Amino acid sequence: MRIGQGYDIHPLKEGRPFILGGIEIAHTHGLDGHSDADALVHSVCDALLGAMGEGDLGKRYPSSNPAFKGLSSLTMLQDIVELLTQKGYRLVNLDTVIMAQSPKLGSHLESMAKKMAEVLCVDVTQVNVKVKSGEGIGMIGRKEGIATQAVCLIDEM
């Protein structure tokens, strides 16, 4: 068995779509970044890559490459799932946390878990998504951005 952890943070920017956990959520601001800036999926990708000893998302999808501009993070995750399978591993479970003051995300957590489980080719019971408020503290509390963390356990098939 191998463990991986991932972390990501993106600022909020007016006029961008708000995509998190592979779903689009109505909000006045979206996450800013080179790809679709889905911080939750990015942290999941980094956790999986770390568990496999394959570096990080920036190594596979550098923001300096214009070919990745606007790329769906679910496409990146699918690529990493294929690598996981090629290397003879399977996902045992995934646990994630979103740190966000706004928007309120509680009603979207199940949809995020289902979407990611679908791409990960696992049962939704193997994917956990939770959210914590910024409690008004720091950049998250001031509604300037969102941070995410993920930890995964993989095992040989």
Q: What is the pLDDT of residue 6?
A: 98
Query: Which is it for the CA torsion 37, 114, 125, 27, positive or negative?
Result: positive
Contact 44, 84 (CB under 8 A): no
Closest CA to 98 of 140, 131, 143, 133: 131
CATH of the domain at 115: 3.30.1330.50
How would you write the pLDDT of the chain (157 residues) with one tens digit per residue? 999 999 999 999 999 999 999 999 999 999 999 999 999 999 999 999 999 999 999 999 999 999 999 999 999 999 999 999 999 999 999 999 999 999 999 999 999 999 999 999 999 999 999 999 999 999 999 999 999 999 999 999 9
Q: Which domain holds residue 140?
A: 2-156
Contact 38, 75 (CB under 8 A): no
Q: What is the pLDDT of residue 105?
A: 98
132/50 Cα distance (integer angstroms): 24
The residues with which 24 forms a beta bridge, in sequence order, are: 19
72/76 Cα distance (integer angstroms): 7
Number of structural domains (the chain) is 1
121/34 Cα distance (integer angstroms): 26
